[in-house]
Amino acid sequence: MHAKKVNTKIPEGWALDSSGKPTTDPDQALKGSMLPIGEAKGSALALMVEILAATFSGGRPSNEASSFLDPDGDPPGVGQFLMFIDPGKDNGSFYNRLEKLLINIEEIDGVRLPGNRRKNEIQKSKDLGLLVPSNFIDS
């Protein structure tokens, strides 16, 4: 989003265009898809999750845990980490800032938030009715 606003390219390995080919063009990336986090940032994020969910909680780290998918070995013994955030404990601006962020995201052409397509399709069905192929009606 920022790269599009300031008219700069995005780094290689961040996105695919609508044909599934790698792109550094933010417009093409917004028409395609973002790639999962990789390289240093992905490794750092994975390490942080591992520290919180295993080391901090007293569970086994992933390299020591047995599989959930077969009966071999001891129980996996992995840990869990749950974080609860009370947005009411902020300075009162959480919901306003969140709403502004979501509106800014939705205003970008071709970008949608999770659940928006479903919500739009439901509204479209309510407005236009259910579309039934003619071959279903003819038979």
Q: How confident is the model at residue 22 (pLDDT cuts 50, 70, 90)?
A: very high
* Mean pLDDT over the full length of the chain: 86
SS3 label, residue 23: strand
Over residues 111-137, mean pLDDT = 85
Give 9's DSSP letter: P
Report DSSP letters for 24-90, one per residue.
--HHHHHHSEEPPP-HHHHHHHHHHHHIIIIITTT-B-TTTPPPSSSS-SS---B--------GGGS
Q: pLDDT category, 21, cuts 50, 70, 90?
A: very high
Contact status, residue 16 vs residue 33, Cβ threshold 8 Å: yes
- pLDDT of residue 8 exceeding 70, the answer is yes
Banded model confidence at residue 139, pLDDT cuts 50, 70, 90: low
Write down the domain spans for the chain. Answer: 84-129
CA–CA dist 120, 97 (Å, integer) = 24
